[in-house]
Amino acid sequence: ILNVEQSPQSLHVQEGDSTNFTCSFPSSNFYALHWYRWETAKSPEALFVMTLNGDEKKKGRISATLNTKEGYSYLYIKGSQPEDSATYLCAFLTGTASKLTFGTGTRLQVTL
Amino acid sequence: DGGITQSPKYLFRKEGQNVTLSCEQNLNHDAMYWYRQDPGQGLRLIYYSQIVNDFQKGDIAEGYSVSREKKESFPLTVTSAQKNPTAFYLCASSIGSGSPNEQYFGPGTRLTVT
């Protein structure tokens, strides 16, 4: 079973703060890295699917980078808002598998 | 609206009973998945199906069974052989499992077995 690690486990920031999380994954046989946002009482929703080393993706105030050679991805949130409060999951797809391996998530809470 | 539905939202069963969780999608996706979430753990894959009439075991398939008779439907049966069935169960689908396409998730079913 592949090991995908996310840090920190939880994070509490003030509105307006910028923050970032880390996802670490095996650097061999990389195929894709997914980021999902999971708000309480809702379904997880995809933020980004990243496939190339050096990839940078952006959606509004949220962006992500990918380093496949060293096996990590960063998710950044600029100017956090209360609606950003959620659990952020990353998931790794190898070139030989048809299934995602998920990390345990980073739980973000943004307060006023 | 296209999406994935799971029913019911909450399910209660007595120990020793089999129970079937429903998952339906109208996204015309080929691949479907069942995950289980427990406190402090990531989503763990139970079973997945890449195409109708075909499915594969995931990382924690013991005590579960599935069928994929229709493209739209991928029901999960939690059997009495599953030692710790109480959990939150998520169903997902994607265009194809061999590609990096994102997965779309249902709202989940929380199963409690006493």
The 10s digit of each residue's pLDDT in A30-86 is 899 999 999 999 999 999 999 999 999 999 999 999 999 999 999 999 999 999 999
Segment B74-102, tens digit of pLDDT: 999 999 999 999 999 999 999 976 667 89
d(CA A72, CA A31): 13
- For B4, the token pair is 């994935």
Q: What is the DSSP letter of A107?
A: E
Q: Which residues of B touch A103 (CB under 8 A)?
A: 42
Query: What local confidence, expressed as pLDDT, does residue B71 receive?
Result: 97
Provide the β-strand partners of residue A64. Answer: A57, A75
Q: How far apart are CA A68 and CA A25, in angstroms?
A: 9
Residue (of B47, B52, B40, B63) closest to B113 by Cα position: B63
Query: Each residue of A8-23: pLDDT tens digit?
Result: 999 999 999 999 999 9
pLDDT reported for residue A29: 85
Please determine, for residue A1, whether its predicted confidence score (pLDDT) is greater than 70.
Answer: no
**β-bridge partners, B21:** B76
Instruction: Give the number of other CB atoms < 10 A from CB of residue A62.
Output: 18
Q: Closest Cα partner for A109 from A82, A90, A77?
A: A82
Cβ separation of A99 and B33 shorter than 8 Å?
yes
Q: How many CB pairs under 8 A join A and B?
A: 53
Q: What is the pLDDT of residue B39?
A: 87
Q: Which amino acid is at B56?
A: Q
Does A34 sit within 8 Å of B42, measured CB to CB? no
Q: Which residues of B touch A98 (CB under 8 A)?
A: 31, 48, 50, 56, 97-98
Q: Identify any residues that bridge with B111 across adjacent strands, giving them in sequence order.
A: B11, B87
Please state, in angstroms and rounded to a whole number, the distance separating the CA atoms of residues A86 and A108: 5
Beta carbons of A104 and B41 less than 8 Å apart: yes
At a CB cut-off of 8 Å and minimum separation 6, what does B1 contact? none
pLDDT of amino acid B99: 67
- Helix boundaries (H) for A1-112: none
Flag residues of chain B having pLDDT under 50. none
Q: How far, CA to CA in Å, does B3 sit from each of B6, B19, B45, B91?
A: 10, 23, 20, 11
